[in-house]
Amino acid sequence: MIYTYETVLPIVLSQSHGLSPSDWGRVYALGPALVILFQLRIARWIVGFSPTFCLAAGTILMGAAFLTLMIQATLGAVLVLTLAFIVGNMIWGPASEQAALRLAPEGHQGAYLGVMSSSIWLGSALVPGLGLPLREHFGDTGLWIAVLSIALLSAASYLLTNRMAHTPGSYRKVTPPFGKGVGR
């Protein structure tokens, strides 16, 4: 989802919807500002939810955000897309790290986090290489439906993986960085 937002979305916005590069730059700059302002607060809010739920919910929110362009492709819609996508990312990010830590055998947590971080880069190769040709063949609507489908498939895989791995001893207890109930 992240690389769709960073690589494919700006091309679609400029080619299909006439959004100028400077307008996209201002919208894109909103993302890091939102993370700086709200990441810690969101991390505190989601402490009571299971990491699996946060992975699934964050992924679905990121994927569904792109559907706003199917409804309306104005600058306001792009701002809504950005807000929904960034909030989804802020929910997904800490949960993905926590899930990797829980699945890692004792003493291998760093390696698991490293593999997880490295595997995310696979998206940087696949998204433009597959997403842009998909768009050329099926149009913007086909692209956004594919993005949502991938998000739903990812969310389902998180839930299925959790179910398969949720046997005694397969998860280690990881203390959330903010403790229970802080910021509520």
74 three-class SS: coil
Neighbours of 76 (CB within 10 A): 10
How many residues would you count in the chain?
Answer: 184
Per-domain residue ranges of the chain: 2-165
For range 26-45, the mean pLDDT: 94
Most confidently modeled range among 51-55, 62-66, 108-112, 178-182: 62-66
CATH architecture of 2-165: Up-down Bundle (1.20)
Residues 9 and 70 sit within 8 Å (Cβ to Cβ): no
Q: What pLDDT does residue 73 have? A: 84
Smallest Cα–Cα separation from 115: which of 133, 96, 142, 128? 96
Q: What pLDDT does residue 104 have? A: 83
For range 121-129, the mean pLDDT: 87
pTM of the model: 0.83
Per-residue pLDDT at 152 exceeds 60:
yes
Q: What pLDDT does residue 124 have? A: 84
What percentage of the chain has pLDDT greater than the value 70? 89
Task: Give pLDDT tens digits for 55-92.
Answer: 999 999 999 999 999 998 889 999 999 999 999 999 99
For range 82-105, the mean pLDDT: 90
Mean pLDDT score of the chain = 87
Per-residue pLDDT at 178 exceeds 60:
no
**Which has more confidence, 104 or 90?**
90
For range 129-151, the mean pLDDT: 95
Per-residue pLDDT at 171 exceeds 60:
no
Neighbours of 181 (CB within 10 A): 9
Residues 1 and 59 sit within 8 Å (Cβ to Cβ): yes
The residue type of 44 is: R
